[in-house]
Structure 1
Amino acid sequence: MTAPVLAVACLDDPTTDLVLDELHGRGIPVVRFDPGADFPDEIALSAHFDGSGMTGSIDTPTHRLDLSGVRAVYWRQPTPYRPSPDLDTSSASWAAEQARYGLGGVLAALPGTFYLNHPFRNRDAEYKPLQLATAAACGLAIPRTLITNRQDSVRRFASRSDGTVFKPLWSTPFKTDNGKWRTIWAHPIDPEEVDGTVTGAAHLFQEQVKKAADVRVTMVGDHVFPVRIDGSPALDWRLHYDSLSYQLIEATPAVVKSMRAYLDRLGLVFGAFDFCLFGDEWVFLECNPNGQWAWFDDPIPQQIAGAIADVLIRAKGES
């Protein structure tokens, strides 16, 4: 019997849907669940360890997954493990952490299994300081960048730039004074407006690149999909999806080689790279190890889904 692909993802993720449709079309069995949302109410776990390693199963309402018989794991932003509302605060927090380290640990240790990407590698690769240092080490151009909590450092940094950009180090929701939650996006700043509150946290500042366009490169193994993004009236194009246009373009061999080296260095199979174009130069901004791509115009999403399916299927050496 053909070994299944395990999709670890929330149930309303259209990116996962496209990949699973591709796998189903090729006759590859798939088991999908969301551990943070489904465990323990919908999932039963039995993992056994002895001198031969790990064996056991995970049972869902519709499937039994043999832990030693998983072809590949497609890890796609599952729901964080969350406390049960039926327990007191302390017990609920304890149970959620046990689930993360128990079920999460089992899912990260499936024997002989290929991961796209391994969850621990995803976690490591989300740190922007590591991204920038790795990109530079792999030969990619990066903007001059400062991470600091010192007001005087920001002023000195900005004095040597034609423009300065602030970026959050992580997309943490921020609650405003009126009680509403908002996302903080990359935006230009006036360094004179940076006050003493900067000392309260780490902040990332970058020299603003006078870009001609943005490029999102989705890389899956050796498959490369560079998409030029035009039409954004703001620095951060994610604020204006309705005004954007997309065009598949070619990446230079040097950039492709550097991106491949970047993924290899961080133990990744998949990466969504963001660049800005400055003349003929591709300037690296960041790489999301679990980035989105389903919103692109057709046929780009189908091509990327096909490339991901190719890599997942060939994990067991089948064509």
Structure 2
Amino acid sequence: MTQPLEWQLGDQSRMIDLRPSAGGERAGTPAVPCPVFLARERDPEVDALQAGLWRLGIPSLRAGLDTPLLVDADGLLFDGVRPTVLWVRHLSPRAAPEHPVSAVRRYRNDAWRALLSQLDAVAAAPVLGTGPGLLRQLAVARDLGIRVPETVVTTRPGTDVVRLRTSRVVAKALDSHAVEAAPGLLAGAFAQIVPRDEVLGWTCQAPLVLQEYVSHDCELRVYHLRGEIHAFRVVKGMPESLWLDEDAVQVIACPVPEPVVNATRRLAEALGLGYAAFDFLIRQGEPVFLEANVTGDWRWFERRADTRALTRGAVKMIARLHRAGGGTRQRPLSFLAL
């Protein structure tokens, strides 16, 4: 293997299918300002959030690339609905229907990408699910004095890996680990852990992240919900086990060590993240920051740990933002929410 990560993209076992179910219908559009989720039809997190908000008497809208939108002087409208809070989930311009003319396809892709990258400027409401990429995250963490793995980004991995003072190397994508080759069909390009000498024979045509492998006592997935923090301890054999061999993964809801709480809150504030899933390694009591996923899923972790605490926290966060944005309940509170 001389092409890192890319060899995985043609492997059918590493595909993630988010295509809409046959015959699926989107719920009706609320007639009042409400929380809006920019999401695909198949999104368990949004399913749980909308159900929880409904029990609180709060309507919500799931919008996609086919939802009519308007940006005016007062902000952003989706199908005539003005968001009280906007949460961008796994929505990508690549999910748009394909067009036979490549120039048209790329034009549409660029237009959607331009809008999604500027939502903070036009939404007139809190926006969750957007934020800086990996390199900015690592730079901010270093400036804050939070330990991060030694990292290089290179198009010459076989040459530049010698810059890392480590016997084992983690190779991972600079952007998402999932590549949407066709609308709704994602190919996985998961991180690899290999001996450094193996990387000496690698070549690549795209920027690749190489990091030192940090030996550690445990791995934590930490969720930040505008100040509220939840954590899971994750034990897995390989990085891709979360997607390809979930029975080999152990997930435990756990208390958050104070150094991790402090690091999470400082990073969230410095990066401007209302919501994110932070990945840390714990080495001799010290947190080592890996990355923050601004669209990080949580329902799979909850199911494995037999808890719904994070879902309840996320619903309460959205409800608070909705009320702060002038939103109200549209029907009596359901007794199921009590």
Could you say whether these structures have the same fold, taking a TM-score greater than 0.5 normalized by the shorter chain as the test?
yes
C-alpha contact (below 8 Å) 1:45/1:103 kept by paired residues: no
Q: Give CA-to-partner distance per residue, 1:272-308, whole Å, 9 cap, x none.
A: 0111232322221111111111102447662212222
Change in 2 beyond 3 A, CA 1:220/1:183: same
Residues 161-310 of structure 1 aligned to structure 2 (within 5 Å): 161-170=166-175, 171=177, 173=179, 183-195=188-200, 197-198=202-203, 200-230=205-235, 232-235=236-239, 237-238=241-242, 239-298=244-303, 302-310=308-316
How many Å separate the matches in 2 of 1:300 and 1:222?
A: 23
**What SS class does the counterpart of residue 165 from structure 1 fall into?**
strand
Query: Which whole-Å deviations, capped at 9, do the CAs of 1:198-237 have from their partners, x for residues lacking one?
Result: 364332222212223321111111111111112x222554
Q: Which moved more, 1:309-318 or 1:252-261?
A: 309-318
TM-score for both structures, normalised by structure 1: 0.77
Confirm or deny that 1:145 pairs with 2:151.
yes
2:24 pairs with 1:16: no
Q: 1:132 aligns to what SS in structure 2? A: helix
Contact 1:147 1:204 in 2 (8 A): yes
Aligned partner of 1:54 in structure 2 is 74
For the structure 1 residues 138 and 196, does the alpha-carbon distance in structure 2 shift closer, same or farther, using more than 3 Å as the test?
same
Residues 84 and 283 of structure 1: CA distance in aligned 2, closer, same or farther (over 3 Å) = closer
Gapped regions of structure 2 (runs ≥ 5): 1-30, 329-338
| Counterpart for residue 57 of structure 2 | 27
- Give the letter for the 1:116 counterpart: L
Instruction: Please say if residues 221 and 280 of structure 2, whose CA atoms lie closer than 8 Å, have aligned partners that are also in contact.
Output: yes
Would the alpha carbon gap of residues 133 and 102 (structure 1) be closer, same or farther in structure 2, given more than 3 Å must change? closer
Q: Of the candidates 72, 79, 85, which is equivalent to residue 85 of structure 2? A: 72
Q: 93-102 or 305-314, which moves further after superposition?
A: 93-102
Identity score, percent: 23
Q: 1:136 is matched with which residue?
A: 142
CA deviations 1:57-90 (Å, max 9, x no partner) are 543xxxx41x3xx211122112425565566433
> What is the identity, as a one-letter code, of the residue corresponding to 1:94?
Y
> Which structure is richer in relative contact order (CA contacts within 8 A, separation 6 or more)?
2
Aligned residues: 287
What is the CA–CA distance in structure 2 between the aligned matches of 1:291 and 1:47, rounded to whole Å? 27
Asked if 1:110 is matched to 2:140, the reply is: no
Distance 1:95 1:169 in 2: 24
Q: Deviations over 1:34-77 (max 9, x none)?
A: 12xx2xxxx334444xxxx3368543xxxx41x3xx21112211
Q: Is the 8 A contact 1:135 1:141 kept in 2?
A: yes
Match in the other structure for 2:27? none
What letter matches 1:310 in structure 2?
Answer: K
Indicate conservation of the 8 Å contact 2:241/2:248, yes or no: no
Judge which range, 276-285 or 90-99, deviates more. Answer: 90-99
Counterparts of 1:95 and 1:164, CA distance in 2: 38
Alpha-carbon RMSD across the aligned residues, in angstroms, is 3.1
C-alpha distance in structure 1 between counterparts of 2:207 and 2:134, whole Å: 12
Match of 2:17 in 1: none
**Which residue identity lines up with residue 308 of structure 2 in the other structure?**
Q
For residue 93 of structure 1, what is the aligned residue in structure 2? 106
Instruction: Quickly say closer, same or farther: Cα 1:183–1:278, change in 2 above 3 A.
Output: same
Identify the residue that residue 178 of structure 1 maps to in structure 2. Answer: none
How far off its partner does 1:19 sit? 1.0
- Report the Cα distance in structure 2 between the residues aligned to 1:97 and 1:149, rounded to whole angstroms: 25
Which has the higher mean CA deviation after the structures are superposed, 212-221 or 194-203? Answer: 194-203
Contact 2:166/2:196, CA 8 A, preserved across alignment:
no
Residue deviations 1:77-127 (CA, integer Å, cap 9, x gap): 12425565566433343344445546885786122x12223x4x3xxx2x2
Q: Check conservation: 2:231, 2:255, Cα contact below 8 A.
A: yes
